Amino acid sequence: MFKKFKIPDATIGRLSLYSRYLKEADEKGIDTVSSQQIAKATGVTPAQVRKDLAYFGEFGTRGVGYNSRELYNYIMKILGLGRRWPVAIVGAGNLGRALSQYKGFSERGFDIACIFDTDPSKIGKKLAGIEICHIDLLGEKARIHNIELGIIAVPASAAQEVADKLLEAGIRGIINFAPVNINITGDNVMLRRVDLAAQLEYLTYYLEDTR
């Protein structure tokens, strides 16, 4: 079930940063960290760290700090990463290939379970050891692997059709890498769009303004 109250998207993003720092601290043998240390490592203020954590309860000891491992485990549970999440990638082109080989997914609890495409020349071949299946098998594979997360890595012209197929297959969380808006319907379905070119354009706008 999704959270019954609204947490700012920025807070969720920062929790992910905090967890990475806490894991690193724990691996270095640092048992206790302060909000100041977390803030310095993640580029925010100590007050922001405390505010973000306060959404989910009381953590740490005043004047002492937080136990690195315990807070890391709490945050991972908050983020839903107390278990492994199988993921489907639709699109076996250059982007799909890169995503399937990204080791950061596995390190954070995401397992690429299936890869789909419609190109006959790709069907049956493997990416990162995973056989590429025709998208018509999406529903069947989603049931077999209990997949709830999908990544759209296809051209813009095919993105909406792929989104529709993901929804039909029972996928409840979608990341869209295609440079186009897509429409989703249904309860408890989450969509995130990642437009890499738009992010570069954001940077060039400000860089050009300072020349």
pLDDT digits (tens, 9 = 90+) for 138-157: 999 999 999 999 999 999 99
Burial class of residue 57, CB neighbours in 10 A (0-12, 13-18, 19+): exposed
pLDDT at 26 over 50: yes
- Tens of pLDDT along 191-201? 999 998 888 99
* Interatomic CA distance for residues 35 and 21, integer angstroms: 12
pLDDT value at position 1? 39
**87 pLDDT higher than 50:** yes
CA dist., res. 164 & res. 1, Å (int): 21
pLDDT tens-place string over residues 55-82: 999 998 888 899 999 999 999 999 999 9
Strand bridging mode 130-134 / 110-117? parallel
Locate tokens 């080791």: which residue?
A: 103
Q: What is the mean pLDDT of the chain?
A: 93
Q: Residue 6: pLDDT above 70?
A: yes
Over pLDDT 70: what percentage of the chain? Answer: 97
* Stretch among 5-14, 42-51, 98-107, 174-183 having the lowest mean pLDDT: 5-14
> According to the model, what pLDDT value does residue 4 have?
47
pLDDT (0 to 100) of residue 61? 83
Q: How far is CA 57 from the centre of its chain?
A: 23
Confidence of residue 5 (pLDDT cuts 50, 70, 90): low
Model confidence pLDDT, tens digit, residues 115-130: 999 999 999 999 999 9
Amino acid at 192: R
Residue 164: name the closest of 188, 192, 135 by CA.
Answer: 135
CA–CA separation, 12 and 18 (whole Å):
10
Among residues 85, 74, 65, the alpha carbon closest in space to that of 19 is found at: 74
Q: CATH fold of 9-78, please? A: Arc Repressor Mutant, subunit A (1.10.10)
Which pLDDT score, from 0 to 100, does residue 208 have? 82
Topology alike, domains 9-78 and 85-198? no
Burial of residue 34 (CB within 10 Å: 0-12, 13-18, 19+) is middle
* Mean pLDDT across 86-96: 97
Q: Which SS3 state, helix, strand or coil, does residue 210 take? A: coil
Parse the chain into domains and list their residue ranges. 9-78, 85-198
In 3D space, the residue among 166, 171, 169, 175 whose CA is nearest the CA of residue 188 turns out to be 171
Residue 33 structure tokens: 């960290």
CATH 3.40.50.720 fits 85-198, yes or no: yes
